[in-house]
């Protein structure tokens, strides 16, 4: 017998109340050296140009976080080190996508694409015209499917990217009306 259909996925801003569930998803999605503590997570939520999002499903307990996106305005080509507690930057030129993680129950639902689309739409309304990220742990093909491309980097940026692991890749994408959903 097949159970009832899953409830629809809702997208909303990620809040500090979501941190316990987000931290649990992070622990399933990333190796230990890429995991960040709650203080680093929370610092991204308070930035003026925060585009941090939660994807939830209603259930008998209220709602369950099935995916999250940490993204925010940031200076171009200047990714923060893993675990850094962020403060408001001087000048945001781009949307930096710091982290996208999907719980096993959310996989196969295209929720990651939805989160990125909503965040880039918000970034476009804030005047940001480009997104940057570091694809980790072999995720570059996923990001390519979302329109990101690898870009040549300076030696200094290459060193920052390397801190995210041997498979890390610097990727960028324009945020244009055609891409924003």
Q: Which domains does the chain have, with CATH numbers?
A: 9-174 (3.40.630.30)
Among residues 179, 109, 105, 97, the alpha carbon closest in space to that of 146 is found at 179
pLDDT at 4: 54
Per-residue buried b or exposed e for 66-84, using 16+ beta carbons within 10 Å of the residue's own CB = bbbbbbbbbeebebbebee
Confidence of residue 142 (pLDDT cuts 50, 70, 90): very high
Residue range 48-72: mean pLDDT, rounded = 93
pLDDT at 180: 45
DSSP state string for the chain: ---PPPPPEEEEE--GGGHHHHHHHHHHHS-GGG---HHHHHHHHTSTTB--EEEEEEETTEEEEEEEEEEEEE-TT-PPPTTPPP---S---EEEEEEEEE-GGGTTTTHHHHHHHHHHHHHHHTT--EEEEEE-TT-HHHHHHTT-EE----HHHHHHHHTT-TT-EEEEEE--TTT--
What is the DSSP pairing of strand 169-174 with strand 53-59?
Answer: unpaired
pLDDT at 1: 45
Whether pLDDT at 149 is above 50: yes
Whether pLDDT at 177 is above 70: no
Q: CA-CA distance, 10 to 72, in Å (whole number)?
A: 20
Residue range 141-160: mean pLDDT, rounded = 96
Residue range 98-127, pLDDT digits in tens: 999 999 999 999 999 999 999 999 999 999
The pTM for the full model equals: 0.92
| Average pLDDT along the chain | 93
Residue range 24-39: mean pLDDT, rounded = 95
Whether pLDDT at 2 is above 70: no
Q: Cβ(43)–Cβ(85) under 8 Å?
A: yes
Confidence of residue 43 (pLDDT cuts 50, 70, 90): very high
Q: Cβ(171)–Cβ(133) under 8 Å?
A: yes
How far does Cα 68 stand from its chain's mean position? Answer: 7
Residue range 78-96, pLDDT digits in tens: 999 999 999 999 889 999 9
């Amino acid at each position: 017998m097949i159970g009832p259909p899953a409830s629809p996925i809702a997208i909303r801003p990620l809040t500090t109340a979501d941190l316990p569930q987000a931290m649990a998803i992070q622990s399933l999605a990333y190796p230990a050296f890429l995991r960040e503590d709650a203080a680093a997570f929370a610092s991204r939520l308070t930035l003026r140009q925060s585009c941090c999002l939660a994807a939830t499903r209603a259930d008998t307990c209220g709602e369950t976080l099935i995916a999250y996106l940490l993204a925010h305005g940031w200076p171009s080509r200047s990714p923060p080190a893993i675990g850094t507690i962020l403060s408001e930057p001087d000048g945001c030129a781009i949307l930096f996508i710091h982290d996208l993680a999907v719980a096993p129950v959310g996989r196969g639902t295209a929720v990651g694409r939805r989160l990125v689309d909503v965040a880039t739409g918000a970034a476009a309304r804030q005047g940001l015209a480009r997104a940057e990220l570091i694809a980790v742990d072999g995720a570059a093909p996923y990001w390519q499917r979302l329109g990101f491309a690898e870009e040549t980097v300076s030696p200094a940026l290459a060193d920052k990217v390397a801190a995210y692991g041997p498979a890390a890749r610097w990727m960028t994408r324009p945020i244009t009306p055609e891409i924003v959903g």
